[in-house]
Every structure is written in structure tokens, then in C-alpha cells.
Structure 1
Amino acid sequence: MVQEITEVTVRDVRFPTSLEQHGSDAMHTDPDYSVAYVVIHTDTGEKGFGLTFTVGRGTEIVVCAVQALSTLVVGKSLQEIVGDFRGFYRLLTSDGQMRWIGPEKGVIQLATAAILNAVWDLWARTEGKPLWKLLVDMDPEQMVSCIDFRYISDALTEQEALDILVKGREGKAEREAQMLQDGYPAYTTSCAWIGFSDQQLTQLCSEALSSGWSRFKVKVGANLEDDRRRCALVRKMIGPDNTLMMDANQRWDVGEAVRWVSSLAEFKPLWIEEPTSPDDVLGHAAISKALAPLGIGVATGEQCHNRVMFKQFLQASALQFVQIDSCRVGSVNENLAVMLMAHKFQVPVCPHAGGVGLCELVQHLILFDYICVSTDLNNRMCEYVDHLHEHFTCPVVIHNAHYLPPKAPGYSCEMLEASVQKYQFPDGEVWRKIQAEEQEST
């Protein structure tokens, strides 16, 4: 049955996480975790749900971008889109006028991701499969046809991508069974936000250890002495055999990053994440080279705009861990390209997650990556942050510090309508109450 898209709606949904410093880091000190929440409506009544993640102010700009791009979507059928997904992707990213305010980066790409996430959700629902299963079952030829190789063919050709996927068929059934039984390894960022007190950090680390967590990430970059104290505290609690990572969220210049991380090397971090500007490929390369003798890798990617930047990071040996994001680049299509390039360059993919809905979405991508592309779990793990999952109809399931594969059809993007209405900005109940309290205090 042909499903024609009749309408694309988008809402600004924000959660006041800044009130308790959840999500705080050296660069983003007061985030209100938010989404531009998209629903694709069809003439059959079937809907596709998608989102892109933001941290409060500016979400309204992404909403406007979604509305502008939606004119390219309404009137098309799902079958028309997926029959030439590469062409549709390029249509969204190559509009002759809107491309000027991108191209394929920033607000426009966030909006593109939200729309395409909804398209993938609609496709998976139509097929009656969770998205990861839709991807795993897809023929390599069809998978490759979803990817736009423009600008990256010097690093990964269409034939090379096809060869990787064909080779990935070997042992695929066994890896899928393994994931269904054990799940995909995760690490936690929930214990050590930069705004948390030492007491909070200690309590949360203790609780995580008792729940089976063995991989922990600490936010750093605001004050070196604070970082040394907090990292020492975490390392002492988790012991020498568990894994510690650090995340500076773009705080430093290149030389400063090398000096700062070198002074934290005694705490044996596996990686330093986003040590400098997320656009500085050569800066990351210099930091990677300087920290290599200390056994510390560099991770980045959550704010990497597109596949072209990932290509350059990989070509320049500027990172040792690729961090894809479900909403920063152009949805599943572009993340497929990044995962395949990472495999060619033999760099493990360890996605960014957390936020609102990022864990729900990225679980599908990591399952596909392991089952069909990487076929290896060495040095691979996915971020997990334990909040806001209760606002989704099919929240992520974590067991023994592993992501368990979702079973419901779709991309796990659908939010509870009651939550959307309650937290919609600025007129939802929660925000009306906050505004009233602010007016009273003044």
C-alpha cells in the first residue's frame, strides 16, 4: 500500500534539567535537555516519529528549520523515498536556497536529522520491525543505496562499502543471537557531571558499581585541581581494573589540552573526549600524537557536522574513538557512511548518547554496527545516561550495564503525548509554573 505523507508537525519540548545540574559540563553549564519533536503523518493513518536533541535555547530555531524543510517532504510517499533514499537525502541537503545556511551542518542538519529519523521510524513500523532489525536484514546493495557518497569517495568508495557489508554476512546470525542474549556494552556518564558535588559523585559511583557498571566517564576542563581531586576520587572508587574516560567538551586550546591531560594521565583514562574545538581536525591530530606515548586516546564526534568531517578526522589519524550521534548528522543515512568509514580505517565506534532520546535511538545503530560491520567488540562501548527515558513509549532497557535490543517496531522515537504536552515550550504546564515562580521572585 502506498503511504503518502500529508503533514509534518514539529514541537519544541524542553526539560528543566539545569535546575539540578544534570548534563552540566565545562562548556555547557546550565543545559535544559530538549528536542525538536517531529511527527510525519500519512494518508493511511500510520505515523513516523523523529527528533533532534538540543539543550534549551535555540530549539525554536531548529523547529523553524524543520518547518522550512517539510515542504520537500509533504506529498511524497514512503515508497518513493525509500526506493531512492540516496536521492531523497540529497534533495533535503541540496535545496538551492536553504543549502546556503548549511550546507549539511548546524541547524539545517539537525532539522534534516529530525525529519529523516521520523522517515526511518515510519519505514521500520511499516515493515513491522525495530529499526536495528530492518538494517540487519537489509541486502548490502539496498543498504549502500541509502548512502550519499558525494565528498567521501576518496576515503570510501561505494564498492568498498558493499564489500564490507558482504563480508559482514559471515557469522551475522551468531552475532545477532549474542546481542539478543547479552546486549551491547555500555558506559555511564551519570555519575560525574561537572556540577555535581563530591558527595553526589561518590554516592552515584557506589550505586553504579553495585549495579554492575565497570566503565565510567568524568567531565573535566573547568579547573585543574578540581579535576585532579574528582578523577582521583573516581579512580579510587572504581579500582584499577575498571575503565575511566574523561570529557572536556571542547574547553581547551591545543597546547592547553596536551598539558592538562598530561597532568591527569596518572588516573589512566582510556580517552579524552572533545579536548578542543570539534571542527579542529589538525588540532585533534596534534593532541592525539602528543598523548599517544601516555596511552591516552582521543575521542570526538558528537558535534562533528557531517560525514566529510569524519572523513578528515580519520584520514588525519586525529581520533582513536569515533563518536557518532543519532541527531547531529543526517540521521541513519549519514551514520551508515561514518560507521563504514570507521571500519575501513580500523577505528572503533563508541557513540555519544544521553540527552533526550539519544540512548533510545543510538541503540539501533550500535547493534547494526556490531552485527553487520565491525563484527568486533574490542574497545567498543556506547554511552548511557539514566534520565528522561520515562517520557518514551518504548524506553531503552539496560541490563547488567548492557543495552538490550529493542523489540517494538520503529526507531524508538515516539514520546508519550502527555509528556510532550506537559513539557512543551513555552506553554506546557511545567514551563508555565517555572515562569510564574520566576515572576514571583522578581
Structure 2
Amino acid sequence: MSKSSQLTIIAVEGEDLRWPTSLGSHGSDAMHTDPDYSCVYVTIRTSGGAYGNGLTFTCGRGTDVVLLAVRSMKFLVEGKNADDIFSNFGTFWRQLTSESQLRWIGPEKGVTHLAVAAIINALWDLWAKLENKPVWRLLADLEPEVLVSTIDFRYITDVITKEEAIELLKKQKAGKEARIKDLLDNGYPAYTTQVGWLGYSDDRIRDLCKEYLDKGFTAFKLKVGRDLENDRLRCRLIRDAIGWENKLMIDANQIWDVDQAIEWVKQLAEFKPLWIEEPTSPDDILGHAKISEALRPLKIGVATGEMCANRVMFKQFLQADAMQFCQIDSARIGGINEILAVYLMAMKLNVRVCPHAGGVGLCEMVQHLQMWDYVSLSGTKEDRVIEFIDQQHDQFINPATVKNACYVAPRAPGYSTELKQSAIENYRYPHGKEWERMFAEGIFQYNKY
């Protein structure tokens, strides 16, 4: 009998939590100039006292809208037996994303899918805690048939079937224990975006480059896209700081038209960026394909995925050779179940996955996914890295930890998503202690709408 067989889900609770990162330009880029890193934080409680925590990332305003979407889905989760969910997870995922009335305001994208991600992430955290394993190890220990059963293959069987997915996983069984040991001993390579926010001064960028070089980092990402000459100056500044033996990536956060992206990046090609990230609309698959083709002779890849709506769009990006670096995001599409589908398609079509982790709790979650990929699917770390930003980790009970520029493999049970109670009390919006203080001091003005 499984540990979840007698547990009924009795409550799905949500919180609107926001951190005032805009005050220091942390997270700033060409499109998102003043983000306040935020999340909808979900707690799923069971009749036996066990609980799971999940979240979905936002940039401030609108977090309350996602919270309303979570509340609209509670009736699909509360009262369910946890074991029934986990033993039929693929079926449950489809029920959650296909409720006949809620589906109309998606389907499987936007606000409703962000809400799905928060709920699904909390369920995986619950499952892993019940099994007393970190999520990456829970995933790695599942038999291929069981893991594949958690995925909804609707709309993607023209690229990968259940049978093909099972076969891909079975091929990597050899050497699995050695890769687990390697992860525990050495961790997983990281790159940093912390040096390159668009609102940072030149002096701050220089100081941060030195700081992260001293920490062992060899890959750095810079935000670009507002002013070409300024981008050239900042690329030169970073190259002078990190040298030419280290990797540089650039990220435009959707700011350009297609032809503009091609010409702009050509002007930055002398700085040898490994990739240009989100060069145009995140929905423009053919546009990304055109950019990829134009930049291929320059050996500059295209990276995208953090705003990709669902597995169907990922499928088309991969089919069209429109991304050379696939950036899954732990909270943009519908949680782990759907993300597994993207990893499997990327594996079949030979595209590297390098997760996006610029946001509250994203580092905590994507580390599990990429470590599972190494252990169970791709079997390699070569040319693969996980983004790291050094923000809000102190708010979590089991924060993501990076040593020698590598993520340390989590050992605590769960998805590393449980926040400290003090974080909730201080940053609950708008009545957390810190928000009430900032409103009183005139640092922020509260506007409900």
C-alpha cells in the first residue's frame, strides 16, 4: 500500500507573494523594465497532515489574477485521493487542463496554465515528500512506463509516442547509478544572469563579473535590446571582464521584429555570443526559424522557451529547427508532467535543454528537472547549463545552492518549493509586513487595480 493511499486532499490554498526587486533594477530587461519578482504560492493539504507546496512565477501586477485562476480550479483537486492522482497522473493532468468551461479561457496557455503549473508543482512536491525523496530522485527512480504514464501525449504523437518515450528512457538505464553518484559528488553546471540586468551600471557589472569569476563561473548572460550602441559597449565591457575563453550569452526578451533581430545580432557577432535568447515574439515560431537560419553561419544559436505556452508550441519550435537551445520554465507550462514531454521531444530531435531560471523559485525547481534529464534521459551534461540568479533563495527552507559554479544536488524531500513562514508574513501582498511598511513610507503606492 502506498503512502498516499489513505490521504484525501482537503484544501488547496493560495497566496499572492511579491518582492520589491524593481527598487534595485534586479531582473530588469528590455521588455520588463521594472519587475517585482512575485509568485502565486500554493499549499495542498491532506487529511493525514502531509502537504505539498508549489508556485508559479510572475512580475508583480497580475499575480492576483493568477491566484483567482487557482481558486477557480480548487474544486477539481479538493476531495481527491492522492494515490488516485499519482497513479493516474496523466489522466488527472488532462482533467485539470480540460474542464469544459475553464478550458475556454486557455486552452492550455496564459493565466489558466500558470495556475495549473502552481497546482501541479505542489502535487509533485507532495508526492516526493511522501516518498521521502527530492523530486529529481523520485523521477529518476520511476520505471519508464510509470514516468511516461504521467504525461498527456495528446497533440504531440506526430513527434513522439508513448512507446518511443519509454524506449528513450530504457536506453539510458546503463550507467544510471554512476550518473547519480556524479551528481551527488559534483553537481550540475550553472551560468549566471546576475551580472547582466539592463538597469545595472557599468561599475556594478564589472564588480559582479569579478565576483562570479571568483566563484568559478565560466558562462555569463547579458540583457540587450534597448540601444545598439549601448549593447556594444556593455558586451565589450563584459568581454574585457570575463575574457574570450568564457561563454557569453545575450537575451533580448522579445523586443525586436524578426529582421531587426537578425541585423542587431549581426552587429554584436564580434563578441561571439553562444546564443541570442528570445529575439522576437515568443509565439513566432517561423520568425525564430528565420533568425536561426540567418545566424547559423555566425555560429550563434537561438534560445527560447521561457514564454512558450505549451508542449504543442515547443513541438513546433523543435520541428522547425527554430531553437538550438530549448529553455523549459518550471512554471510557464503545466508543471512537471508537461515539461517531461518537452524534454522527450527535445531528446528525440537532438536539441539541448538549458532551463530558464530567472525568477522566484525557478532555480529551486529547474535544478530537479535538469538533474533528472542527466540521470535518466540525455545522460550527459555536455553543452548544457542551468541559469542561476542570486535572488530570493534566502526565502526558501531548502534553497538552491551553487558551489564552484555548479548546482548542488538537492537531498531534502520535495521540490525545494517550501517558503519560510517569515517570507509569507513579510511579502504577502498587500498586507504583508514589508508591504505595509513600504506603503506607509511612500516607497510604493498601493493600487488594487
Query: How far did 1:331 drift?
Result: 0.6
Whether the 8 Å CA contact 1:104–1:306 is kept in 2: the answer is yes
Q: 1:427 aligns with which of 426, 431, 443?
A: 431
Query: Any unmatched runs of 5+ in structure 2?
Result: none
1:404 pairs with 2:408: yes
Alignment partner, residue 275 of structure 1: 279
Whether the 8 Å CA contact 1:36–1:63 is kept in 2: the answer is yes
Letter in 2 for 1:186: A
* Secondary structure at the counterpart of residue 421 of structure 1: helix
Give the 5 Å matches for 1:213-292: 213-292=217-296
Letter in 1 for 2:101: Q
1:45 pairs with 2:52: no
Counterparts of 1:41 and 1:123 in 2: how far apart (Å)? 12
Give the 5 Å matches for 1:68-87: 68-87=72-91
Letter in 1 for 2:223: K
Over residues 244-264 of structure 1, what are the superposed CA-to-partner deviations in whole Å (9 max), with x where a residue is unaligned?
000000000000000000000
Alignment partner, residue 399 of structure 2: 395
Alignment partner, residue 321 of structure 1: 325
**Compared with structure 1, are the counterparts of its residues 249 and 441 closer, same or farther at alpha carbon in structure 2 (3 Å cutoff)?**
closer
Q: 2:203 aligns with which of 196, 199, 204?
A: 199
Counterparts of 1:102 and 1:292 in 2: how far apart (Å)? 35
Counterparts of 1:294 and 1:165 in 2: how far apart (Å)? 34
Counterparts of 2:341 and 2:217 in 1: how far apart (Å)? 31
Q: 1:170 aligns with which of 149, 169, 174?
A: 174
The CA RMSD measured in Å over matched residues stands at 1.1
**Compared with structure 1, are the counterparts of its residues 86 and 195 closer, same or farther at alpha carbon in structure 2 (3 Å cutoff)?**
same
Query: How far did 1:178 drift?
Result: 0.8
Query: How far did 1:19 drift?
Result: 0.3
Whether the 8 Å CA contact 1:354–1:386 is kept in 2: the answer is no
Give the 5 Å matches for 1:62-211: 62-211=66-215
**Compared with structure 1, are the counterparts of its residues 241 and 81 closer, same or farther at alpha carbon in structure 2 (3 Å cutoff)?**
same
Over residues 94-133 of structure 1, what are the superposed CA-to-partner deviations in whole Å (9 max), with x where a residue is unaligned?
0000000000000000000000000000000000101100
Over residues 220-274 of structure 1, what are the superposed CA-to-partner deviations in whole Å (9 max), with x where a residue is unaligned?
0010011000000101111111000000000000000000000000000000000
Counterparts of 1:304 and 1:402 in 2: how far apart (Å)? 26
Aligned residues: 442
Counterparts of 1:362 and 1:378 in 2: how far apart (Å)? 17
Counterparts of 2:349 and 2:8 in 1: how far apart (Å)? 40
Counterparts of 2:206 and 2:444 in 1: how far apart (Å)? 36
Letter in 2 for 1:115: I
Alignment partner, residue 29 of structure 1: 33
Query: How far did 1:438 drift?
Result: 2.3
Whether the 8 Å CA contact 1:217–1:244 is kept in 2: the answer is yes
Query: Any unmatched runs of 5+ in structure 1?
Result: none
Counterparts of 1:388 and 1:104 in 2: how far apart (Å)? 28
Query: How far did 1:163 drift?
Result: 0.5
**Compared with structure 1, are the counterparts of its residues 256 and 177 closer, same or farther at alpha carbon in structure 2 (3 Å cutoff)?**
same
Q: 1:298 aligns with which of 297, 302, 306?
A: 302
Letter in 2 for 1:98: L
Query: How far did 1:441 drift?
Result: 9.6
Alignment partner, residue 339 of structure 2: 335
Over residues 280-304 of structure 1, what are the superposed CA-to-partner deviations in whole Å (9 max), with x where a residue is unaligned?
0000000000000001000000000
Query: How far did 1:7 drift?
Result: 0.6
Letter in 2 for 1:24: S
Whether the 8 Å CA contact 2:439–2:445 is kept in 1: the answer is no
Alignment partner, residue 380 of structure 2: 376
Letter in 1 for 2:350: Q
Query: How far did 1:147 drift?
Result: 0.4
Please list every run of at least 4 consecutive aligned residues from structure 1 whose deviation after the TM superposition is greater than 6 angstroms.
439-442
Q: Normalising by the residue count of structure 2, what TM-score does the alignment of the two structures yield?
A: 0.97
